[in-house]
Amino acid sequence: MVHDLGSFPRPVLAALAAAERLLTRRAGATVVLADPEDLGGSDRSVVARARVARNPFSLPRTLVVKHYLAEPDPEQPDPFHYEVASCQLFTALPAEARPSPVLIAHDPQARLLVLEDLGRSSTLADKLFGPDPADAQRCLLSWARALGRMQAATAGRENDFGALLRRLGARAWRDPMAEEARVALAKAPELLADELGVRVPAAATLEAHETARLLGGTRYRAFSPSDTCPDNNLVTSRGVRFVDFEWGCFRDVALDAAYFRVPFPGCEASFALPPGIGDTMLDSWRDEVSAVWPDLDDGAKLDRRLLHAQLLWVWLCTWWLLPRVRVRDRTVGLDAARSPRISTALGHYWRQMARSAERGDLPATAELGDTVADALAKRFPDAPGTLPVYPAFRSVA
């Protein structure tokens, strides 16, 4: 049984008790966990750290347990399957290429994972909201390198991922963003007309629909955690490590690399980057992926793919966020101190899109970007007109 219970929430204790049973079955001798520490999780899951107090075989001194609380929706892919398959895929990689914690054990019946403990690491969000701009920049570059390293290590392994999912009982797998992105491309023009009075020219619609090619079976596909918001990236002594693979998938690498241009799109902590940092992040990422896709060293080719990925994210974020300000403007996330206003974030996305489209010869999108940004500023005149940079950079901005 779990020792040193203290006053911990029942779901945390239930998760550790289930982990003890799983590890005991695996070891053939009693495993005891102690000193639980609630790591948060979400409304779908509990995540906790525990010390291994009785260890009949070679377990680490501490472990992390993730317990899915709800039964899966039979109409939707099961995030537990995606997370287990993702962790199994990574655990099979060499240690130097591994972007995540090692999967130690899992129990499909209990919907439980036991994972390597990466320690009491800061998250990328902690660094971006911290006091040290140099440290924040180092961590952003480490994140970009880790993303590229993960993509290079998983290129060509999509069939392996599919086999792991089938073994877990998944009948089909897909990028969870792809379907929503296609809906956004089809319906967001009407949304802009209804909410902001902006008519989307046919030429801009055609330019946007070109981006859908990134959602198909391109030859630049690799693993994506899908949710790479700053809170889901741990800053460790071995560099940035990714956690939370509930929607892990394979997709075109440009869709994640576009985060350098649209910083963490749709995430609660989606603030601006200081000038030049996005380009430096892109260089760090390209250094890692060019060995697998040497043609991405062609600046013109890569810029075109990133331009299309940026445009796809802007349309998708508009589809996600604009309906939420029908009554009043609000922050993207619940914590107003760590999240921008929706109108300010969307205005920034569209204004930056306009500048990128001008350079990339998408004239209709360039005009539309400024029109949408102006309409948002007119609709919400009390909102900040410019998206601030992350707090770590504000003292030097």
Residue reference for tokens 């910083």: 263
Residue reference for tokens 């107003």: 336
Average pLDDT score, the chain:
92
Q: Report pLDDT digits (tens) over 147-186.
A: 999 999 999 999 999 999 999 988 777 888 899 999 999 9
Residues 172, 83: contact at Cβ < 8 Å? no
* Size (the chain), residues: 397
pLDDT of residue 172: 74
Domains of the chain: 10-116 (3.30.200.20), 122-393 (3.90.1200.10)
Residues 282, 258: contact at Cβ < 8 Å? no
Q: Report pLDDT digits (tens) over 77-131.
A: 889 999 999 999 999 998 888 899 999 999 999 999 999 999 888 999 999 999 9
For residue 310, the surrounding DSSP H or E stretch is: helix 299-321
pLDDT of residue 136: 97
pLDDT of residue 41: 66
DSSP percent split of the chain into helix, strand, coil, nearest 5 = 50, 15, 35
From residue 36, how far is each of 14, 19, 51, 140, 238 by CA, in Å?
11, 12, 7, 31, 25
Q: Which residues of the chain have pLDDT under 50?
A: none
